[in-house]
C-alpha cells in the first residue's frame, strides 16, 4: 500500500478520496527536525506552508516518490533539486483562487472605509461615537477606480473578475503572457468576455488607485517603485512576504504616499514586525488567503487527483 504523509493536514474529503482509492493517509504531524529519520517510511508527502522539503531531507529519503503542496507557491520545497532526483513536485493552483481573490477585496473594502480601525476603536470603553463618525467620514468607493493586478494567473484573473463586476478599470501586469481573456459569468447564464493586453509594471503602477500582487516571490517593489505610484494608493499583498520591501512600505505609509496596505503575508512569519502590524494604515490577516472551507475542499480534491494520476502511472 502506498503511504502518504499529510504533514500539514488535508481536508476530510481529500483524505476520504485517497483512502477509498486504496492509499494510506497519515495526518500525524511530524516535527521538522524528525522528518529526516521518519519521512522515508512514506511514499509521498503533502505539505502546506509550515513544512519545508529541502535538499538534505530529499537526500535522506530515497523512498520518496512525490512531493505535494496544498496551495500555489512551492518556495518551501527545493523542487528543482527534487526533480533532478526523479521526484516530481505538484501543487494545487486552481483550488484557492476565488478564496484569495475575495480576501483581497475584503481588505480593499476595509481600508477604503476604515473598517479595520473603526471595528477596534468604536468597541473600546472610551470609543467616542461622534468623534469616530467624523474621523471616518471620508471613505472612498471602488467603482471607477483603477486596479493594477500584478501577476495575471488564476488568482489575478479571479481578482479581475470581481473588479470588473464592481465597475473598476483593470490593468493587468504579467511578463509571461501578452494577452488574456477574462470571462465574467452571470447568475442568469449570460457571460461577457473582456480582452486584455498586458502592461509593463512601470507603466501600470503610475496609474493605479489600487494594486494587488499575486506572484510566487521575489523582490518586486521597493522605494523606487513606490515613488512612481500615485499619492494615496492602496496596495494588497497576498502572495509572499518580501515581494514588497517592508522598510520602504513602512516609510510610504508614514508619509501618506501609500494610503493603505493589505497584508496577508510577511517576511518574518510567524512573527511579523510589530510596526507594520500595528500601523493605522495597515489591514492584516495571518496568511489565510486560501483558508475557506470551499477552498480546502477544492485543495483536497486536487491533491487526490494529483496523487491518483501520479501513482497510476508508476
Residues involved in catalysis: 240, 269, 287
Give 173-180's long-range contacts (Cβ < 8 A, gap of 24+).
173/148, 173/149, 173/198, 173/199, 173/200, 173/201, 173/204, 174/150, 174/198, 177/152, 180/152
The 10 Å Cβ neighbour count of residue 60 is 14
Alpha-helical regions (H) of the chain: 12-20, 35-38, 55-60, 79-84, 97-112, 115-121, 129-135, 154-166, 201-205, 223-227, 246-255, 274-277, 293-312
The contacts of residue 57 (CB under 8 Å, 6+ apart) are 35, 36, 39
The 10 Å Cβ neighbour count of residue 277 is 13
Whole-angstrom distance, CA of residue 196 vs CA of residue 180: 5
* E strand or H helix that includes residue 6: strand 3-6
Whole-angstrom distance, CA of residue 233 vs CA of residue 239: 18
Amino acid at each position: 500500500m502506498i503511504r502518504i504523509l499529510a504533514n500539514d493536514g488535508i481536508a476530510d474529503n481529500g483524505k476520504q478520496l485517497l483512502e477509498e482509492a486504496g492509499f494510506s493517509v497519515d495526518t500525524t504531524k511530524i516535527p521538522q527536525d524528525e522528518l529526516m529519520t521518519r519521512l522515508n517510511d512514506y511514499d509521498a508527502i503533502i505539505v502546506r506552508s509550515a513544512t519545508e522539503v529541502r535538499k538534505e531531507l530529499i537526500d535522506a529519503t530515497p523512498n520518496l516518490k512525490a512531493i505535494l503542496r496544498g496551495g500555489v507557491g512551492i518556495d518551501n520545497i527545493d523542487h528543482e533539486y527534487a526533480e533532478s532526483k526523479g521526484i516530481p513536485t505538484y501543487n494545487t493552483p486552481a483550488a484557492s483562487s476565488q478564496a484569495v481573490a475575495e480576501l483581497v477585496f475584503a481588505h480593499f473594502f476595509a481600508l477604503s472605509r476604515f473598517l479595520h480601525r473603526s471595528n477596534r476603536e468604536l468597541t473600546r470603553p472610551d470609543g467616542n461615537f461622534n468623534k469616530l463618525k467624523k474621523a471616518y467620514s471620508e471613505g472612498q468607493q471602488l467603482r471607477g477606480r483603477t486596479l493594477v493586478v500584478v501577476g495575471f494567473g488564476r488568482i489575478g484573473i479571479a481578482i479581475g473578475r470581481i473588479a470588473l463586476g464592481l465597475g473598476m478599470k483593470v490593468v493587468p501586469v504579467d511578463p509571461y503572457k501578452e494577452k488574456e481573456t477574462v470571462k465574467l459569468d452571470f447568475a442568469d447564464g449570460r457571460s461577457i468576455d473582456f480582452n486584455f493586453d498586458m502592461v509593463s509594471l512601470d507603466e501600470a503602477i503610475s496609474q493605479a488607485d489600487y494594486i494587488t500582487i499575486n506572484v510566487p516571490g521575489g523582490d518586486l517593489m521597493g522605494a523606487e517603485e513606490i515613488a512612481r505610484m500615485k499619492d494615496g494608493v492602496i496596495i494588497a499583498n497576498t502572495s509572499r512576504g518580501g515581494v514588497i520591501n517592508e522598510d520602504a512600505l513602512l516609510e510610504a505609509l508614514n508619509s501618506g504616499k501609500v494610503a493603505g496596505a493589505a497584508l496577508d503575508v510577511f517576511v518574518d512569519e510567524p512573527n511579523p514586525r510589530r510596526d507594520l502590524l500595528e500601523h493605522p494604515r495597515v489591514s492584516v490577516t495571518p496568511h489565510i488567503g486560501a483558508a475557506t472551507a470551499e477552498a480546502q475542499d477544492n485543495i483536497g480534491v486536487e491533491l487526490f487527483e494529483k496523487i491518483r494520476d501520479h501513482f497510476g502511472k508508476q
